Protein backbone atom coordinates (compact mmCIF):
# COMPACT_ATOMS: atom_id res chain seq x y z
CA UNK A 1 0.00 0.00 0.00
CA UNK A 2 1.51 3.29 -1.06
CA UNK A 3 1.05 6.57 0.80
CA UNK A 4 -1.65 7.85 -1.57
CA UNK A 5 -3.72 4.69 -1.04
CA UNK A 6 -3.30 4.95 2.73
CA UNK A 7 -4.32 8.61 2.69
CA UNK A 8 -7.50 7.69 0.79
CA UNK A 9 -8.36 5.02 3.37
CA UNK A 10 -7.65 7.44 6.23
CA UNK A 11 -10.00 10.01 4.71
CA UNK A 12 -12.83 7.47 4.35
CA UNK A 13 -12.33 6.17 7.89
CA UNK A 14 -12.33 9.71 9.24
CA UNK A 15 -15.51 10.71 7.41
CA UNK A 16 -17.42 7.49 8.03
CA UNK A 17 -16.39 6.60 11.58
CA UNK A 18 -14.63 9.64 13.05
CA UNK A 19 -11.50 7.56 13.69
CA UNK A 20 -8.10 9.09 13.04
CA UNK A 21 -5.50 7.09 11.15
CA UNK A 22 -2.20 8.99 11.41
CA UNK A 23 0.71 7.91 9.16
CA UNK A 24 2.18 5.68 11.85
CA UNK A 25 -1.01 3.52 11.62
CA UNK A 26 -0.26 2.49 8.04
CA UNK A 27 1.22 -0.88 9.05
CA UNK A 28 -1.75 -1.56 11.35
CA UNK A 29 -4.22 -0.85 8.54
CA UNK A 30 -2.31 -3.12 6.19
CA UNK A 31 -2.38 -5.99 8.69
CA UNK A 32 -6.10 -5.52 9.39
CA UNK A 33 -6.96 -5.51 5.68
CA UNK A 34 -4.81 -8.59 5.12
CA UNK A 35 -6.78 -10.44 7.79
CA UNK A 36 -10.02 -9.28 6.18
CA UNK A 37 -8.98 -10.51 2.76
CA UNK A 38 -7.81 -13.84 4.21
CA UNK A 39 -10.97 -14.60 6.18
CA UNK A 40 -13.72 -13.12 4.05
CA UNK A 41 -15.69 -15.69 2.03
CA UNK A 42 -16.31 -15.90 -1.67
CA UNK A 43 -18.82 -13.04 -1.50
CA UNK A 44 -15.80 -10.75 -1.65
CA UNK A 45 -14.58 -10.93 -5.27
CA UNK A 46 -10.94 -11.64 -5.94
CA UNK A 47 -10.56 -8.17 -7.48
CA UNK A 48 -11.44 -6.66 -4.08
CA UNK A 49 -8.88 -8.68 -2.12
CA UNK A 50 -6.14 -6.11 -2.52
CA UNK A 51 -5.77 -2.70 -0.91
CA UNK A 52 -6.41 -0.85 -4.17
CA UNK A 53 -9.20 -3.20 -5.26
CA UNK A 54 -11.02 -2.88 -1.94
CA UNK A 55 -10.58 0.91 -2.04
CA UNK A 56 -12.22 1.02 -5.46
CA UNK A 57 -15.14 -1.03 -4.13
CA UNK A 58 -15.47 1.31 -1.12
CA UNK A 59 -15.83 4.28 -3.45
CA UNK A 60 -18.38 2.57 -5.71
CA UNK A 61 -20.44 0.42 -3.33
CA UNK A 62 -23.96 1.68 -2.63
CA UNK A 63 -25.10 -1.24 -0.44
CA UNK A 64 -23.04 -0.30 2.61
CA UNK A 65 -21.41 -3.74 2.74
CA UNK A 66 -17.92 -2.45 1.94
CA UNK A 67 -17.99 0.13 4.73
CA UNK A 68 -19.38 -2.47 7.11
CA UNK A 69 -16.45 -4.78 6.37
CA UNK A 70 -14.02 -1.87 6.75
CA UNK A 71 -15.49 -0.92 10.12
CA UNK A 72 -15.11 -4.49 11.34
CA UNK A 73 -11.51 -4.49 10.20
CA UNK A 74 -10.29 -1.23 11.68
CA UNK A 75 -12.12 -1.01 15.00
CA UNK A 76 -10.50 -2.29 18.16
CA UNK A 77 -12.68 -4.22 20.60
CA UNK A 78 -10.45 -4.59 23.64
CA UNK A 79 -12.42 -4.78 26.86
CA UNK A 80 -12.94 -6.98 29.90
CA UNK A 81 -15.16 -7.33 32.93
CA UNK A 82 -14.75 -4.65 35.63
CA UNK A 83 -12.45 -2.54 33.49
CA UNK A 84 -11.86 0.73 35.38
CA UNK A 85 -13.97 -0.73 38.15
CA UNK A 86 -14.14 2.40 40.32
CA UNK A 87 -16.69 3.69 37.82
CA UNK A 88 -19.03 0.83 38.61
CA UNK A 89 -18.84 1.34 42.38
CA UNK A 90 -19.50 5.06 41.95
CA UNK A 91 -22.43 4.20 39.69
CA UNK A 92 -23.75 1.83 42.34
CA UNK A 93 -23.26 3.95 45.44
CA UNK A 94 -23.84 7.48 44.18
CA UNK A 95 -25.58 7.52 40.81
CA UNK A 96 -28.22 4.83 41.36
CA UNK A 97 -29.58 6.39 44.59
CA UNK A 98 -29.87 9.68 42.72
CA UNK A 99 -31.70 7.99 39.82
CA UNK A 100 -34.11 6.30 42.24
CA UNK A 101 -35.04 9.71 43.58
CA UNK A 102 -35.08 11.51 40.23
CA UNK A 103 -37.20 8.82 38.52
CA UNK A 104 -39.41 7.94 41.50
CA UNK A 105 -42.58 9.06 39.73
CA UNK A 106 -42.07 7.39 36.35
CA UNK A 107 -39.90 4.46 37.54
CA UNK A 108 -38.30 4.60 34.10
CA UNK A 109 -34.51 4.27 34.34
CA UNK A 110 -32.68 5.08 31.10
CA UNK A 111 -29.04 4.04 30.72
CA UNK A 112 -26.95 4.00 27.55
CA UNK A 113 -23.75 2.02 27.20
CA UNK A 114 -22.24 3.48 24.02
CA UNK A 115 -19.44 1.64 22.21
CA UNK A 116 -20.20 -1.44 24.31
CA UNK A 117 -17.91 -3.73 22.28
CA UNK A 118 -18.46 -7.40 23.20
CA UNK A 119 -20.78 -6.56 26.10
CA UNK A 120 -18.73 -6.94 29.30
CA UNK A 121 -19.40 -3.36 30.37
CA UNK A 122 -23.11 -3.56 29.53
CA UNK A 123 -23.63 -6.78 31.48
CA UNK A 124 -21.87 -5.29 34.52
CA UNK A 125 -24.17 -2.26 34.43
CA UNK A 126 -27.19 -4.53 34.02
CA UNK A 127 -26.21 -6.54 37.10
CA UNK A 128 -25.84 -3.36 39.15
CA UNK A 129 -29.19 -2.01 37.95
CA UNK A 130 -30.92 -5.27 38.77
CA UNK A 131 -29.22 -5.45 42.13
CA UNK A 132 -30.38 -2.02 43.16
CA UNK A 133 -33.88 -1.76 41.73
CA UNK A 134 -35.06 -5.30 42.43
CA UNK A 135 -35.12 -4.28 46.10
CA UNK A 136 -37.24 -1.20 45.52
CA UNK A 137 -40.46 -2.99 44.63
CA UNK A 138 -42.30 -3.78 41.43
CA UNK A 139 -42.73 -1.40 38.53
CA UNK A 140 -39.20 -0.25 37.80
CA UNK A 141 -38.13 -0.44 34.15
CA UNK A 142 -34.36 -0.75 34.00
CA UNK A 143 -33.67 -1.96 30.46
CA UNK A 144 -30.32 -0.75 29.21
CA UNK A 145 -29.40 0.32 25.67
CA UNK A 146 -26.01 -0.98 24.49
CA UNK A 147 -24.65 0.06 21.09
CA UNK A 148 -21.55 -0.38 19.00
CA UNK A 149 -20.42 0.43 15.49
CA UNK A 150 -19.71 -3.21 14.69
CA UNK A 151 -22.68 -5.44 13.94
CA UNK A 152 -20.46 -8.46 14.49
CA UNK A 153 -19.51 -7.57 18.07
CA UNK A 154 -23.09 -6.51 18.86
CA UNK A 155 -24.27 -9.98 17.83
CA UNK A 156 -21.53 -11.48 19.98
CA UNK A 157 -22.51 -9.30 22.95
CA UNK A 158 -26.19 -10.26 22.63
CA UNK A 159 -25.23 -13.93 22.93
CA UNK A 160 -23.38 -13.19 26.16
CA UNK A 161 -20.90 -16.06 25.84
CA UNK A 162 -17.45 -15.62 27.35
CA UNK A 163 -14.40 -17.70 28.11
CA UNK A 164 -14.40 -19.10 31.63
CA UNK A 165 -11.23 -17.19 32.55
CA UNK A 166 -12.83 -13.91 31.43
CA UNK A 167 -15.83 -14.42 33.71
CA UNK A 168 -13.47 -15.50 36.51
CA UNK A 169 -12.54 -11.83 36.93
CA UNK A 170 -16.01 -11.27 38.39
CA UNK A 171 -16.87 -11.88 42.05
CA UNK A 172 -17.64 -15.54 42.64
CA UNK A 173 -21.23 -14.92 43.55
CA UNK A 174 -21.79 -12.99 40.36
CA UNK A 175 -20.38 -15.88 38.39
CA UNK A 176 -22.84 -18.26 40.01
CA UNK A 177 -25.86 -15.99 39.91
CA UNK A 178 -25.61 -14.42 36.50
CA UNK A 179 -23.76 -16.95 34.34
CA UNK A 180 -24.24 -20.63 33.63
CA UNK A 181 -21.64 -23.14 32.48
CA UNK A 182 -21.98 -24.39 28.89
CA UNK A 183 -21.00 -27.82 27.68
CA UNK A 184 -18.07 -26.32 25.81
CA UNK A 185 -16.64 -24.94 29.07
CA UNK A 186 -17.58 -21.33 28.35
CA UNK A 187 -19.90 -19.22 30.50
CA UNK A 188 -23.09 -17.58 29.22
CA UNK A 189 -25.10 -14.79 30.79
CA UNK A 190 -28.46 -16.07 32.04
CA UNK A 191 -31.42 -15.27 29.84
CA UNK A 192 -32.96 -12.75 32.25
CA UNK A 193 -29.75 -10.73 32.23
CA UNK A 194 -29.44 -10.89 28.42
CA UNK A 195 -33.05 -9.80 28.03
CA UNK A 196 -32.48 -6.76 30.23
CA UNK A 197 -30.19 -5.23 27.59
CA UNK A 198 -31.17 -3.88 24.17
CA UNK A 199 -28.19 -4.45 21.87
CA UNK A 200 -28.15 -2.36 18.69
CA UNK A 201 -25.55 -1.40 16.07
CA UNK A 202 -25.08 2.37 16.10
CA UNK A 203 -22.60 4.85 14.65
CA UNK A 204 -21.81 7.66 17.09
CA UNK A 205 -21.29 9.95 14.08
CA UNK A 206 -25.00 9.72 13.26
CA UNK A 207 -26.11 13.29 12.65
CA UNK A 208 -29.37 13.02 14.63
CA UNK A 209 -29.54 10.60 17.53
CA UNK A 210 -32.69 8.44 17.17
CA UNK A 211 -33.96 8.51 20.74
CA UNK A 212 -37.26 9.66 22.18
CA UNK A 213 -36.19 10.41 25.74
CA UNK A 214 -32.93 11.54 27.34
CA UNK A 215 -30.85 9.24 29.51
CA UNK A 216 -29.98 9.35 33.19
CA UNK A 217 -26.52 7.93 32.53
CA UNK A 218 -24.28 7.54 29.48
CA UNK A 219 -21.18 5.36 29.52
CA UNK A 220 -18.85 6.04 26.59
CA UNK A 221 -15.40 4.92 27.64
CA UNK A 222 -12.14 4.64 25.74
CA UNK A 223 -13.66 5.61 22.42
CA UNK A 224 -13.14 9.34 22.02
CA UNK A 225 -9.37 8.91 22.21
CA UNK A 226 -9.57 7.73 18.60
CA UNK A 227 -11.50 10.81 17.41
CA UNK A 228 -10.18 14.19 16.36
CA UNK A 229 -11.04 17.24 18.44
CA UNK A 230 -13.89 18.37 16.20
CA UNK A 231 -15.56 14.96 16.35
CA UNK A 232 -15.08 14.76 20.14
CA UNK A 233 -16.56 18.21 20.59
CA UNK A 234 -19.66 17.40 18.57
CA UNK A 235 -20.14 14.07 20.33
CA UNK A 236 -19.79 15.56 23.83
CA UNK A 237 -22.39 18.20 22.93
CA UNK A 238 -24.78 15.48 21.80
CA UNK A 239 -24.21 13.53 25.02
CA UNK A 240 -24.98 16.69 26.97
CA UNK A 241 -28.21 17.21 25.03
CA UNK A 242 -29.30 13.62 25.57
CA UNK A 243 -28.85 13.61 29.35
CA UNK A 244 -31.57 14.61 31.78
CA UNK A 245 -30.68 17.49 34.10
CA UNK A 246 -28.37 16.01 36.71
CA UNK A 247 -27.45 13.08 34.43
CA UNK A 248 -23.97 11.57 34.42
CA UNK A 249 -21.42 10.97 31.66
CA UNK A 250 -18.65 8.41 32.21
CA UNK A 251 -15.62 8.45 29.91
CA UNK A 252 -12.39 6.44 29.99
CA UNK A 253 -9.64 7.19 32.48
CA UNK A 254 -7.40 8.22 29.59
CA UNK A 255 -10.03 10.70 28.38
CA UNK A 256 -11.09 14.13 29.53
CA UNK A 257 -13.99 16.36 28.65
CA UNK A 258 -13.24 19.98 27.98
CA UNK A 259 -16.15 21.64 29.74
CA UNK A 260 -15.99 24.38 27.13
CA UNK A 261 -17.33 21.77 24.67
CA UNK A 262 -20.51 21.56 26.73
CA UNK A 263 -21.33 22.98 30.18
CA UNK A 264 -20.71 19.76 32.10
CA UNK A 265 -19.78 19.88 35.77
CA UNK A 266 -16.59 18.04 36.69
CA UNK A 267 -17.33 15.38 39.34
CA UNK A 268 -14.09 13.41 39.47
CA UNK A 269 -11.58 12.14 36.91
CA UNK A 270 -13.53 10.73 33.92
CA UNK A 271 -16.96 11.44 35.49
CA UNK A 272 -19.02 14.48 34.49
CA UNK A 273 -22.51 15.69 35.29
CA UNK A 274 -25.08 17.84 33.55
CA UNK A 275 -26.19 20.64 35.92
CA UNK A 276 -29.37 19.79 37.79
CA UNK A 277 -30.92 23.10 36.78
CA UNK A 278 -30.05 22.69 33.07
CA UNK A 279 -32.90 22.77 30.59
CA UNK A 280 -33.59 19.90 28.21
CA UNK A 281 -31.94 20.70 24.91
CA UNK A 282 -32.48 17.49 22.95
CA UNK A 283 -35.11 17.79 20.24
CA UNK A 284 -35.54 14.37 18.58
CA UNK A 285 -36.54 14.30 14.96
CA UNK A 286 -40.06 13.09 14.29
CA UNK A 287 -40.39 9.58 13.00
CA UNK A 288 -37.14 8.28 14.50
CA UNK A 289 -37.05 5.01 16.39
CA UNK A 290 -37.09 5.29 20.16
CA UNK A 291 -35.52 3.41 23.00
CA UNK A 292 -38.98 2.36 24.06
CA UNK A 293 -39.56 0.93 20.62
CA UNK A 294 -36.19 -0.79 20.70
CA UNK A 295 -37.30 -2.54 23.85
CA UNK A 296 -39.57 -4.66 21.70
CA UNK A 297 -36.73 -7.11 21.35
CA UNK A 298 -33.15 -7.98 20.55
CA UNK A 299 -32.81 -9.18 16.97
CA UNK A 300 -36.59 -9.42 16.76
CA UNK A 301 -36.94 -11.92 19.60
CA UNK A 302 -39.60 -11.49 22.28
CA UNK A 303 -38.45 -9.91 25.50
CA UNK A 304 -39.03 -11.21 28.98
CA UNK A 305 -38.98 -8.50 31.63
CA UNK A 306 -37.02 -9.30 34.76
CA UNK A 307 -39.02 -10.01 37.85
CA UNK A 308 -38.42 -7.55 40.69
CA UNK A 309 -38.96 -10.50 42.95
CA UNK A 310 -35.48 -11.74 42.34
CA UNK A 311 -35.07 -13.37 38.95
CA UNK A 312 -31.50 -12.27 39.39
CA UNK A 313 -30.22 -12.40 42.98
CA UNK A 314 -28.08 -9.91 44.82
CA UNK A 315 -24.33 -10.15 44.51
CA UNK A 316 -21.27 -10.27 46.71
CA UNK A 317 -17.96 -8.72 45.77
CA UNK A 318 -15.39 -11.46 46.21
CA UNK A 319 -11.69 -11.36 46.97
CA UNK A 320 -9.66 -8.74 45.14
CA UNK A 321 -6.07 -7.57 45.25
CA UNK A 322 -5.19 -4.18 46.58
CA UNK A 323 -2.61 -2.03 44.84
CA UNK A 324 0.07 -3.40 47.11
CA UNK A 325 -0.83 -6.98 46.25
CA UNK A 326 -2.45 -7.96 49.55
CA UNK A 327 -5.52 -10.13 49.29
CA UNK A 328 -8.61 -8.17 50.27
CA UNK A 329 -11.81 -9.79 51.47
CA UNK A 330 -14.75 -7.74 50.26
CA UNK A 331 -17.60 -10.16 50.78
CA UNK A 332 -19.73 -9.68 53.88
CA UNK A 333 -23.00 -10.87 55.24
CA UNK A 334 -23.73 -8.22 57.88
CA UNK A 335 -25.11 -4.72 57.75
CA UNK A 336 -22.94 -1.75 58.71
CA UNK A 337 -22.96 -1.43 62.51
CA UNK A 338 -19.96 0.84 63.05
CA UNK A 339 -18.47 3.77 61.13
CA UNK A 340 -14.93 5.00 61.87
CA UNK A 341 -13.49 8.09 60.21
CA UNK A 342 -10.10 9.79 60.15
CA UNK A 343 -8.86 13.17 58.90
CA UNK A 344 -6.14 15.77 59.38
CA UNK A 345 -5.36 18.97 57.47
CA UNK A 346 -8.63 20.36 56.11
CA UNK A 347 -10.49 17.63 57.96
CA UNK A 348 -12.75 19.71 60.19
CA UNK A 349 -14.48 21.26 57.19
CA UNK A 350 -14.48 17.99 55.24
CA UNK A 351 -16.01 16.11 58.18
CA UNK A 352 -18.63 18.81 58.68
CA UNK A 353 -19.53 18.68 54.98
CA UNK A 354 -20.12 14.93 55.20
CA UNK A 355 -21.74 14.64 58.62
CA UNK A 356 -24.24 17.46 58.14
CA UNK A 357 -25.66 15.56 55.16
CA UNK A 358 -26.30 12.33 57.08
CA UNK A 359 -29.78 11.49 58.32
CA UNK A 360 -30.73 8.97 61.05
CA UNK A 361 -31.01 6.08 61.52
CA UNK A 362 -27.29 5.42 61.38
CA UNK A 363 -24.79 3.30 63.30
CA UNK A 364 -22.43 5.01 65.75
CA UNK A 365 -19.63 7.07 64.22
CA UNK A 366 -16.19 7.33 65.88
CA UNK A 367 -13.85 10.03 64.54
CA UNK A 368 -10.17 10.85 64.90
CA UNK A 369 -9.32 14.34 63.69
CA UNK A 370 -5.78 15.62 64.22
CA UNK A 371 -6.61 18.63 66.36
CA UNK A 372 -5.02 20.41 69.39
CA UNK A 373 -6.36 19.69 72.88
CA UNK A 374 -9.30 21.93 73.68
CA UNK A 375 -10.35 22.37 70.08
CA UNK A 376 -11.80 18.86 69.87
CA UNK A 377 -14.50 19.86 72.35
CA UNK A 378 -15.35 22.95 70.33
CA UNK A 379 -15.48 20.86 67.15
CA UNK A 380 -17.81 18.34 68.82
CA UNK A 381 -20.14 21.14 69.92
CA UNK A 382 -20.21 22.52 66.38
CA UNK A 383 -21.16 19.14 64.96
CA UNK A 384 -23.79 18.63 67.63
CA UNK A 385 -25.31 21.99 66.69
CA UNK A 386 -25.20 21.54 62.91
CA UNK A 387 -25.85 17.79 62.45
CA UNK A 388 -28.98 15.70 62.82
CA UNK A 389 -26.92 13.31 64.94
CA UNK A 390 -25.79 13.75 68.56
CA UNK A 391 -22.09 14.62 68.82
CA UNK A 392 -19.68 14.85 71.78
CA UNK A 393 -16.08 14.01 72.68
CA UNK A 394 -15.37 10.35 73.39
CA UNK A 395 -15.23 9.19 77.03
CA UNK A 396 -13.47 6.20 78.57
CA UNK A 397 -15.68 3.11 78.85
CA UNK A 398 -18.59 4.70 77.00
CA UNK A 399 -20.89 2.30 75.14
CA UNK A 400 -21.60 3.23 71.53
CA UNK A 401 -25.14 4.14 70.56
CA UNK A 402 -26.80 4.57 67.14
CA UNK A 403 -27.13 8.11 65.77
CA UNK A 404 -24.19 9.35 67.87
CA UNK A 405 -20.86 10.86 66.82
CA UNK A 406 -17.82 10.38 69.10
CA UNK A 407 -14.86 12.75 68.60
CA UNK A 408 -11.43 11.72 69.88
CA UNK A 409 -10.04 14.22 72.45
CA UNK A 410 -7.11 16.21 71.07
CA UNK A 411 -4.54 14.51 73.32
CA UNK A 412 -5.78 10.90 73.67
CA UNK A 413 -5.90 7.79 71.54
CA UNK A 414 -9.34 6.26 70.99
CA UNK A 415 -9.90 2.55 70.46
CA UNK A 416 -13.03 0.42 70.20
CA UNK A 417 -13.52 -2.70 72.31
CA UNK A 418 -15.96 -5.54 71.92
CA UNK A 419 -17.85 -6.42 75.12
CA UNK A 420 -20.22 -9.24 74.31
CA UNK A 421 -22.69 -7.91 71.77
CA UNK A 422 -21.86 -4.29 72.54
CA UNK A 423 -19.01 -1.97 71.63
CA UNK A 424 -17.40 0.50 74.02
CA UNK A 425 -14.60 3.05 73.83
CA UNK A 426 -11.13 3.09 75.31
CA UNK A 427 -9.80 6.66 75.63
CA UNK A 428 -6.22 6.70 76.90
CA UNK A 429 -3.05 8.73 76.82
CA UNK A 430 -0.20 7.18 74.86
CA UNK A 431 2.88 7.81 72.77
CA UNK A 432 2.66 9.51 69.40
CA UNK A 433 1.79 7.16 66.55
CA UNK A 434 2.72 8.42 63.08
CA UNK A 435 3.50 11.68 64.86
CA UNK A 436 0.00 12.06 66.30
CA UNK A 437 -2.08 11.55 69.39
CA UNK A 438 -4.87 10.81 68.67
CA UNK A 439 -3.86 8.61 65.76
CA UNK A 440 -6.19 7.39 63.03
CA UNK A 441 -4.19 4.17 62.73
CA UNK A 442 -4.80 3.39 66.42
CA UNK A 443 -8.58 3.63 65.97
CA UNK A 444 -8.71 1.74 62.68
CA UNK A 445 -6.35 -1.00 63.91
CA UNK A 446 -8.52 -1.54 66.98
CA UNK A 447 -11.49 -2.27 64.72
CA UNK A 448 -9.47 -5.00 63.01
CA UNK A 449 -7.94 -6.33 66.25
CA UNK A 450 -11.35 -6.64 67.92
CA UNK A 451 -12.70 -8.56 64.92
CA UNK A 452 -15.19 -5.83 64.21
CA UNK A 453 -14.08 -5.18 60.63
CA UNK A 454 -16.86 -7.26 59.11
CA UNK A 455 -19.85 -4.99 59.46
CA UNK A 456 -17.76 -1.81 59.74
CA UNK A 457 -17.12 1.10 57.39
CA UNK A 458 -13.82 2.99 57.40
CA UNK A 459 -13.57 6.47 55.84
CA UNK A 460 -10.32 8.41 55.36
CA UNK A 461 -10.48 12.08 54.38
CA UNK A 462 -8.02 14.86 53.61
CA UNK A 463 -4.79 15.09 55.60
CA UNK A 464 -1.00 15.30 55.53
CA UNK A 465 1.16 12.22 56.01
CA UNK A 466 0.10 8.58 56.00
CA UNK A 467 -1.76 8.14 59.30
CA UNK A 468 -4.65 5.74 58.84
CA UNK A 469 -3.37 3.84 55.80
CA UNK A 470 -2.13 0.75 57.65
CA UNK A 471 -5.13 0.57 59.95
CA UNK A 472 -7.56 0.99 57.08
CA UNK A 473 -5.80 -1.80 55.17
CA UNK A 474 -6.14 -4.08 58.20
CA UNK A 475 -9.85 -3.26 58.32
CA UNK A 476 -10.34 -3.98 54.64
CA UNK A 477 -8.46 -7.27 54.89
CA UNK A 478 -10.83 -8.16 57.72
CA UNK A 479 -13.92 -7.57 55.58
CA UNK A 480 -14.73 -3.88 56.16
CA UNK A 481 -16.03 -1.48 53.55
CA UNK A 482 -13.60 1.40 52.98
CA UNK A 483 -13.87 4.82 51.33
CA UNK A 484 -11.27 7.51 50.65
CA UNK A 485 -11.47 11.12 49.53
CA UNK A 486 -10.10 11.83 46.06
CA UNK A 487 -7.23 14.14 45.19
CA UNK A 488 -9.28 16.80 43.45
CA UNK A 489 -11.35 17.64 46.54
CA UNK A 490 -8.68 17.08 49.24
CA UNK A 491 -6.99 20.07 50.87
CA UNK A 492 -3.93 17.81 51.26
CA UNK A 493 -3.94 14.51 49.38
CA UNK A 494 -1.54 12.75 51.72
CA UNK A 495 -3.42 10.34 53.97
CA UNK A 496 -5.98 9.32 51.32
CA UNK A 497 -3.20 8.82 48.76
CA UNK A 498 -1.17 6.59 51.08
CA UNK A 499 -4.23 4.47 51.81
CA UNK A 500 -5.23 4.28 48.15
CA UNK A 501 -1.75 3.25 47.02
CA UNK A 502 -1.60 0.61 49.78
CA UNK A 503 -4.81 -0.98 48.54
CA UNK A 504 -6.69 0.02 51.68
CA UNK A 505 -9.34 2.12 49.91
CA UNK A 506 -12.10 0.23 48.15
CA UNK A 507 -13.49 3.31 46.41
CA UNK A 508 -12.15 6.83 46.08
CA UNK A 509 -14.82 9.54 45.95
CA UNK A 510 -15.06 13.33 45.71
CA UNK A 511 -16.06 14.90 49.01
CA UNK A 512 -19.64 15.77 47.91
CA UNK A 513 -20.26 12.09 47.15
CA UNK A 514 -19.03 10.65 50.45
CA UNK A 515 -22.20 11.23 52.47
CA UNK A 516 -24.37 9.61 49.79
CA UNK A 517 -22.04 6.60 49.66
CA UNK A 518 -22.19 6.21 53.45
CA UNK A 519 -25.97 6.48 53.43
CA UNK A 520 -26.29 3.93 50.62
CA UNK A 521 -24.11 1.40 52.44
CA UNK A 522 -25.92 1.86 55.75
CA UNK A 523 -29.37 1.67 54.13
CA UNK A 524 -28.95 -2.03 53.38
CA UNK A 525 -30.68 -4.19 55.91
CA UNK A 526 -29.30 -7.00 58.06
CA UNK A 527 -27.91 -9.81 56.04
CA UNK A 528 -27.50 -7.59 52.98
CA UNK A 529 -24.73 -8.57 50.63
CA UNK A 530 -22.77 -6.41 48.28
Other beta carbons within 10 Å of 388:
12
Catalytic site includes residue 216? no
Catalytic site includes residue 411? no
Cα–Cα–Cα angle for 112, 247, 257, rounded to 5 degrees: 85
**For the chain, what are the domain ranges?**
3-74, 86-294, 320-522
pLDDT in tens, 468-525: 999 999 999 999 999 999 999 998 899 999 999 999 999 999 998 999 999 989 875 4
Q: Which residues contact 315 (CB under 8 A, 6 or more apart)?
A: 127, 131, 171, 173, 174, 177, 178, 529, 530
Residue 174 DSSP class: H
Of residues 67 and 302, which shows the higher confidence score?
67
pTM over 0.75, yes/no: no
Three-class SS of residue 43?
coil
Sign of CA dihedral 114, 119, 120, 126: positive
Three-class SS of residue 221?
coil
Among candidate residues 370, 404, 413, 436, the one labeled active-site is 370
Among candidate residues 86, 93, 148, 467, the one labeled active-site is 467
pLDDT at res. 293: 37
Sheet of strand 481-485: strand arrangement: 390-393, 404-407, 365-369, 338-343, 456-460, 481-485, 507-509
Across the range 443-463, mean pLDDT stands at 95
Catalytic site includes residue 467? yes
Q: Could you tell me if 265 and 274 are in contact, meaning their C-beta atoms sit under 8 angstroms apart? A: yes
The overall average pLDDT reported for the chain is 82
Share of the chain above pLDDT 90, in %: 51
Q: Could you tell me if 495 and 465 are in contact, meaning their C-beta atoms sit under 8 angstroms apart? A: yes
d(CA 247, CA 110): 10
CATH fold match for the domains 86-294 and 320-522? yes
Residue 128 φ/ψ, nearest 5 degrees: -65, -40
Q: Could you tell me if 243 and 274 are in contact, meaning their C-beta atoms sit under 8 angstroms apart? A: yes
Across the range 200-219, mean pLDDT stands at 91
Across the range 155-161, mean pLDDT stands at 95
d(CA 443, CA 433): 11
Across the range 337-356, mean pLDDT stands at 93
Domain 86-294 has CATH 3.40.50.150: yes
d(CA 249, CA 264): 9
Query: Quick one: CATH architecture of 320-522?
Result: 3-Layer(aba) Sandwich (3.40)
Share of the chain above pLDDT 70, in %: 83
Among candidate residues 134, 143, 150, 344, the one labeled active-site is 344
Amino acid sequence: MDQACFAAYAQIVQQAFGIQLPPEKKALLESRLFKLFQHEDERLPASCRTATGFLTWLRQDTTGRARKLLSEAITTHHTYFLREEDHFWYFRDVVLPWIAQAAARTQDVRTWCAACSTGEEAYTLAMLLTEYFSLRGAGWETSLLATDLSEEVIAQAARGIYAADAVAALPEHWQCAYFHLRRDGQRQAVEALRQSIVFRPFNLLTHVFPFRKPFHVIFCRNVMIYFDRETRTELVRKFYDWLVPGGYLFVGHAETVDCEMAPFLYVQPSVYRKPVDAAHTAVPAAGHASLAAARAGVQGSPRTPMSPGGALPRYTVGPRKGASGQTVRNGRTHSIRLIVMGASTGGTEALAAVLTQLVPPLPPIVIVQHIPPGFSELFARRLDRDCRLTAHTAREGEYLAPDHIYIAPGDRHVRVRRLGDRICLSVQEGPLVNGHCPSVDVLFQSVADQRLATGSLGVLLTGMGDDGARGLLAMRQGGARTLGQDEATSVVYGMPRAAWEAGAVERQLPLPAVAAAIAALCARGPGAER
